[in-house]
Amino acid sequence: MHRLTIQNFGFARMPEVCFGPGVLKQLPQRVKTSGRVLLVTGSHSFLASEAYAALTQSLAQSGVTVFQTSVSGEPSPTFVDQSVDRYRAEELDWVIGIGGGSAMDAGKAISAMLPQQGSVADYLEGRETRKHDGRKIPFIAVPTSSGTGAEATKNAVLSEIGERGYKNSLRHDSLVPDIALIDPELMLSCPPDLTAACGLDAFTQLLESYVSTKASPMSDALALSGLEHFAAGFLPAYEQGASDITARSHMAYAALLSGVTLANAGLGVVHGFASPIGGYFDMPHGVVCGSLIGEATRINLEVLFGDAEKNRIVLEKFARVGVLLSGRASSSLERDCSKLVTALQALIERTQIPRLGHYNIRPSDFPRILDKTTNKNSPAVLNRDQMQSILYARL
């Protein structure tokens, strides 16, 4: 009889979560006792929506003074610094990030830097010359897409794109949002290409945290739940998302749990690639994940099956996800793992996730990408040649 064992583990705190269609209407009630808020949004979709007009009107009727700023693309340290300089004198009571991961990360960073001195670049992980002391303006995260899980994490990802670019996090335990309002109605208008990229980002985070060397029974339970909801919601959200609130709810829940599990179990080699690729090239994070996850999973499994008995527990996890996505179990661990790779490759093709070459990434760029790529908490330790083969496969 197999004996269950549990190794020591910790679990990070979460925001207060309010989940369900229509919960955005709670926002004015949440902040009405505090008079001054900054809305940090994306640059287009939400600003043009009826939801934005209704929200700002409701906030004004509640006596709340509203300031608003927009981030275009992934946030940079310069954008955060300029926003902090602009709004520091306004004595804000709340910062609210409403949008995709970029808007939530931007809002999170602005909230974190308003009480601090100097540039946010001085505080970024891996580049820091100052330590953040944890003081911030209270922060509310409101996702309008289902991808990064930033509504549940303690870091804000900032990037400078270019020849000497980088992608690093501002990170502190206190930066977990105070409140996450997750309203699937806000995701109904998310276009198919963005739905696909964000959804595969959430999947990658769930899978990598599920098979991570830092996984725990608690993170496993949440990751598996998120993967179940991904399997139920991804294709319906992609194909009829504008009319399918059930599918959007599945994906919103999966994305939320992907943020919770990545914060507690860490990620793998796909996210090892994502940092340098996102720094050097203007390739959206979700597209990086969606483009690489199929081939990275195949290579991971190839290495793990090199010693299948030693790696049986993690191979059983991969197989379980293969059954989830294919809908059929077999009597063979290897066949069920193979189903996972086949299912992922089919999803990537069906949703037309762009390849690396679409963003002008060439083989000559691989050395500098690989110089900064790590396995993170991947269950298989890939060597440089194996990592390079993943890039070539998606060129």
Q: What is the pLDDT of residues 192-240, one digit of tens each?
A: 999 999 999 999 999 999 999 999 999 999 999 999 999 999 999 999 9
User: Which residue spans of the chain are classified as CATH 1.20.1090.10?
Assistant: 192-393
State the Cα angle at 85 between 79 and 89, rounded to 5°: 140
157 forms beta bridges with 169
Q: Write down the pLDDT at residue 32.
A: 74
pTM (two decimals) = 0.96
Q: Write down the pLDDT at residue 1.
A: 42
Q: Write down the pLDDT at residue 43.
A: 81
Q: Write down the pLDDT at residue 173.
A: 95
Q: Write down the pLDDT at residue 270.
A: 98
Q: Write down the pLDDT at residue 328.
A: 86
Low-confidence ranges of the chain (pLDDT < 70): 1-3, 34
User: Which residue spans of the chain are classified as CATH 3.40.50.1970?
Assistant: 16-187
> 252 and 198 in contact (C-beta within 8 Å)?
no
Please state which CATH class domain 192-393 belongs to.
mainly alpha
How far is it, in rounded angstroms, from Cα 146 to Cα 390? 25
In this structure, whether the domain defined by 16-187 belongs to CATH 3.40.50.1970 is answered with yes
Nearest of 45, 64, 32 to residue 186 by alpha carbon:
45
